Amino acid sequence: GKQLFSSKNEFRISALKFHPTESNIFICGGFSPEVKSWDIRTSKVLRVYKAAVQQTLDMLFLPEGKEFLTSTDAVSRDSADRTIIAWDFQSAAKISNQIFHERYTCPSLTLHPKESVFVAQTNGNYMALFSVQRPYRINKKKRYEGHKVEGFAVGCEFSPDGTLLVTGSSDGKVFFYNYHTARIIRTLSAHKEACVNAIFHPVLPSLLATCDWAGEVKIWQ
């Protein structure tokens, strides 16, 4: 059967993530200053997380799901305040909005599978590395650069063993970075259009799926 989740102030949803330990709960955000958490058992909103932004670009639960991050469109010439916001999941309180201080939006976020770090894809054509522990410090010694973002919502992901970081690129390529050294290991000329995501198979790490701006999907071995 079909289950509908709706509310009076509907908005176009562009990001949705299930809670890592409570499988009945998910959060969603999009073209709205609000992110909402829902319970699929009741089809009702549990909590509303409000920020002075126009759009949520991506969301990421931190380990155990007590906290989560949202990346937003809030960036200006004088301030990078609210570009990435950390939230307390239970109380809906903002923990921090002073995480990323460079003036680029971050179209996607990804969590390392084994270490206490996450990566933010940035519109500065690089991926930045942060700690998942408060105050979520950026690692200034590591920067994953060489690919292009150029305004596309380019996704990135770690390999299941955490040794590789893969990302799409607006020129249609896929880039593989060594997580520890931040060096490019190899590139694939995957698509003619902008490659907007590259995802590893969760069980078979030799399989990779990529997709492009025109809707083409490819599987690589």
Total number of domains in the chain: 2
Average pLDDT, the chain: 93
Q: Is residue 6 part of a domain?
A: no
Q: Is the same domain home to 132 and 84?
A: no
Residue 6: which pLDDT band, with cuts at 50, 70 and 90? low
Token representation of residue 154: 């380019």
Of 81, 99, 117, the residue at which a domain comes to its end is: 99
Q: Is residue 39 part of a domain?
A: yes
CATH number for the domain that contains residue 76: 2.40.10
Predicted TM-score (pTM) of this structure: 0.92
pLDDT tens per residue, range 12-31: 899 999 999 999 999 999 99
- Residue (of 83, 59, 82) closest to 70 by Cα position: 59
Of 65, 99, 133, the residue at which a domain comes to its end is: 99
Cβ proximity of 189 and 211 under 8 Å: no
Measured between alpha carbons, how far is 180 from 199 in angstroms, rounded to an integer? 19
Q: Is residue 1 part of a domain?
A: no
Q: Is the same domain home to 82 and 153?
A: no
- Residue (of 216, 179, 187, 220) closest to 201 by Cα position: 220
Q: Is the same domain home to 107 and 216?
A: yes
Q: Is the same domain home to 80 and 127?
A: no
Q: Is the same domain home to 131 and 64?
A: no
